[in-house]
Amino acid sequence: MSDTPPPGKLFPCAACGAKIEFDPATRSLKCPYCGHATAIARPTSDAEAEIVERDFEEYLAKLEAGGGGTVAGHSSQVKCTGCGAMVLLEDQVVTEKCPFCGTHLENQPESAAGMIPPESLAPFKLDLRAARESFDTWLGSLWFAPSELKQAANLGQLAGIYVPYWTYDAMTHTRYRGERGDDYQDTESYTETDAQGNTVTKTRTVTRTRWTSVSGHVDHFFDDVLVCATRSIPDRLVSYLSPWDLKKLEPFKADFLSGFKTERYGIGLREGFGEARNLMQPEIVRLINRDIGGDHQRISSKNTQYDAITFKHLLLPMWIAHYRYQDRVFHILVNGRTGKISGERPWSAWKIIRLVLLVLAAIILIGFLMSKAAKGGGRARSSGPERGQTVASARSAAYSSHVAAIMHICALSGPPRVGWAPPIAE
End-to-end alpha carbon distance in the chain: 59
pTM for this model (two decimals): 0.75
CA-closest candidate to residue 329, choices 342, 344, 307, 315: 344
Q: What is the pLDDT of residue 5?
A: 46
266 to each of 116, 123, 211, 351, 417, how far by Cα in Å? 12, 21, 47, 39, 38
Residue 75 has pLDDT above 70, yes or no: yes
Give the separation between CA 355 and CA 376, rounded to whole angstroms.
31
DSSP code of residue 141: T
Residue 230 has pLDDT above 70, yes or no: yes
CA-closest candidate to residue 333, choices 135, 41, 45: 135
List of E strands, 120-198: 120-121, 159-193
Question: What amino acid is encoded at 363 in this protein?
Answer: I
Residue 94 has pLDDT above 60, yes or no: no
Give the separation between CA 66 and CA 86, rounded to whole angstroms.
19
* pLDDT tens figures, 147-180: 666 665 454 578 899 999 999 999 999 999 999 9
In our burial notation (b when 16+ CB lie closer than 10 A, e otherwise), range 98-110 reads bbbbbeebeeebe
pLDDT band of 379, cuts 50, 70, 90: low
Q: What mean pLDDT is predicted for residues 281-296? A: 97
289 to each of 95, 112, 243, 246, how far by Cα in Å? 55, 46, 26, 29
Residue 390 has pLDDT above 80, yes or no: no
Residue 233 φ then ψ, to 5°: -135, 145
Burial class (CB in 10 A: 0-12, 13-18, 19+), 271: middle
Q: What is the pLDDT of residue 350?
A: 61
Mean pLDDT (the chain) is: 81
Residue 422 has pLDDT above 80, yes or no: no
